[in-house]
Amino acid sequence: MSATNYPSATPQTPAPKKDNRGLIYGVLIAALLGTWGYIIYDKSKTKEVIQQKDVQYSALDSSKNMIQKEYEDALLRLDAMTGTNSKLDSLVKSRDKEIGDMKGRIQSLVRKQNASAADIAEARELIKQLNGKIDDYVKEIERLTGENKQLTADKEQLTTQKADLETNLATTDAAKKVAEEKVDIAIIETGLGGRLDSTNIIQPLLSIITNIGWDHTDLLGDTLPKIASEKAGIIKHKTPVVIGEYQPETFPVFMEKARVEESPIFLSNQKVNILYFKSSIIHSAFDVQFQFGELWKNVYCDLNGIYQQKNIGTILSSLDLIRQSGFKLSERDIREGLLNVKKNTGLMGRWQILNTQPLTVCDTGHNQNGIEYVLKQIAEQKFENLHMVIGMVKDKDIDKVLSMLPKNAIYYFTKASIPRAMDEKELQAKAISFGLNGKTYRSVVEAKSAAKLAANKNDMIFIGGSTFVVAEAI
């Protein structure tokens, strides 16, 4: 692929330099997380820009209020559905009592030793009424069953909407806080997709799309181009975008969106070239050469994991564009930022070493792409036996992930303490169909403890499958 197919990163008119050394940490935390989309915008404290941000603040506040109203309406509908279900239950109980009373009267008449002709006639009439009520009851039950199924489906949908609205409320609250603080640079991670995500009200300085993987396919689409189309929603008019990884299925989608928006688009490997990369237990080390010849040797990052090679390329490409827009970031600033990501940001859970004897590692990779990198990293380790503490959430492509996991490992199936978590026994049953064997544990803490007791010092313990599992294991 020729670099001449893409707009040049060279600035036409150099902007005045700004001393924003602290920016490096935010950009690092964004790209090194390895998730999908970020929008970065400048909040310089000039009078004109502050006025613009005040308008943004008003928009954010209005958006928040609208979402709050939607949330409250959803709660009212959910309460109404719950009340209707209760009424149906009461109606069924009432019919049961009515029929039960009739049966009792018939039995007393039939068992009466000196029953009169009037008693027999009453019993015969009650039996006739009972048969009619039973027929009506059967029809009523069929109707109520159908309505109840619909109500249950509506309730589940509303519960999902409630969770989505809570997420959107949290997002707009965060955006409002950014506007109130009037920071110089804000790095905003898109929550789900991009095109319809609540973060997408921002007009960014730069957009970053790291890569496209199989995740949230029920909402974003069942093909990579469909998912990419949703992610491409953060590409804004005449605003540069960095694509962290070239994928033949998705890059044409980004190119077309960039063409429509007249936005410069850059592949990270066209702007920087990682010449050497080595990940150890302590850190990652690499050499990098920039597009116009600048070479940095012996650069270190305190995050390990082989997937950081691509993430670091995305970081450096993005920082290069930000520097060209007028922010002053020296080589020393960037080197120090890379070396102190954990210290400066508190980032955890990315190929994090929890213990060395036995080697115990956790990683938040939870979809096909993330697990693929995790398994490559595991294959590079030296150990006698592999112990896998695994838990997943129900809305992921669990079968696809389970089909990738090693069959010669010892498994500890568990679940995180969240409603979306798949039950550990259900996960075990699915895993057995893929040749994966192990016991179940009610909590991540129990599963982790069991693995530690079973492993010897030359074994390896891996904890993952879900970000939530990792959070409870750390």
Write the pLDDT tens digit of every residue in 27-46.
Answer: 444 444 444 555 565 555 44
pLDDT by residue (tens digit) across 275-333? Answer: 888 888 778 899 988 887 789 999 999 888 887 888 888 989 998 888 888 888 888 99
Residue 20 has pLDDT above 60, yes or no: no
Q: Please tell me the distance from the alpha carbon of residue 33 to that of residue 27, in angstroms, as a whole number.
A: 10
The pLDDT score that the predictor gives to residue 5 is 36
Residues 6+ apart with CB under 8 A from 103: 130
- Tell me the percentage of the chain whose pLDDT exceeds 70: 73
Asked whether the CA dihedral 222, 224, 226, 228 is positive or negative, the reply is positive
Residues 6+ apart with CB under 8 A from 143: none
Residues 6+ apart with CB under 8 A from 331: 296
Query: Fold match between 3-43+183-345 and 352-473?
Result: no
On average, the pLDDT of the chain sits at 78
Full-model pTM:
0.61
Estimate to the nearest angstrom the gap between the alpha carbon of 99 and the chain centroid. Answer: 52
Residues 6+ apart with CB under 8 A from 261: 235, 236, 237, 238, 239
Asked whether the CA dihedral 392, 397, 402, 404 is positive or negative, the reply is negative
Residues 6+ apart with CB under 8 A from 89: none
For 439, counting Cβ atoms within 10 Å of its Cβ (0-12 exposed, 13-18 middle, 19+ buried), the class is: middle
Q: Please tell me the distance from the alpha carbon of residue 302 to that of residue 295, in angstroms, as a whole number.
A: 20
User: For the chain, which residues make up each domain, given as ranges?
Assistant: 3-43+183-345, 67-169, 352-473
Q: Please tell me the distance from the alpha carbon of residue 458 to that of residue 248, in angstroms, as a whole number.
A: 41
The pLDDT score that the predictor gives to residue 113 is 72
Residue with tokens 């928040």: 64
The pLDDT score that the predictor gives to residue 121 is 78
Q: Please tell me the distance from the alpha carbon of residue 301 to that of residue 278, in angstroms, as a whole number.
A: 10
pLDDT band, very low/low/confident/very high, at 191 (cuts 50, 70, 90): confident
The pLDDT score that the predictor gives to residue 85 is 57
The pLDDT score that the predictor gives to residue 444 is 96
To the nearest 10°, report the CA torsion of 395, 400, 405, 407: 120
Residue 140 has pLDDT above 60, yes or no: yes
pLDDT by residue (tens digit) across 394-433? Answer: 877 889 999 999 999 999 999 999 988 999 999 999 999 9
More confident residue, 433 or 5: 433
Gyration radius (Cα) of the chain, Å: 30
The pLDDT score that the predictor gives to residue 7 is 34
Among 131-140, 236-245, 364-373, name the one with the lowest average pLDDT: 131-140
pLDDT by residue (tens digit) across 62-105? Answer: 554 554 555 455 556 555 555 555 655 666 667 677 777 777 77
Among candidates 265, 353, 218, which has minimal Cα distance to 3?
A: 265
Pick the CATH number of 3-43+183-345 from 1.10.760.10, 3.20.20.20, 3.40.1190.10, 3.30.110.30: 3.40.1190.10
Q: How many helical (H) and strand (E) elements, i.e. helices and strands, does the chain have? A: 15, 16
Estimate to the nearest angstrom the gap between the alpha carbon of 79 and the chain centroid. Answer: 28
pLDDT by residue (tens digit) across 334-353? Answer: 999 899 988 888 888 888 99
DSSP code for 426: H
329 with 20: CB under 8 angstroms? Answer: yes
Which CATH number is associated with domain 352-473?
Answer: 3.90.190.20
The pLDDT score that the predictor gives to residue 459 is 97
More confident residue, 235 or 215: 235
Between the alpha carbon of residue 233 and those of residues 38, 198, 315, the distances in Å are 11, 11, 21
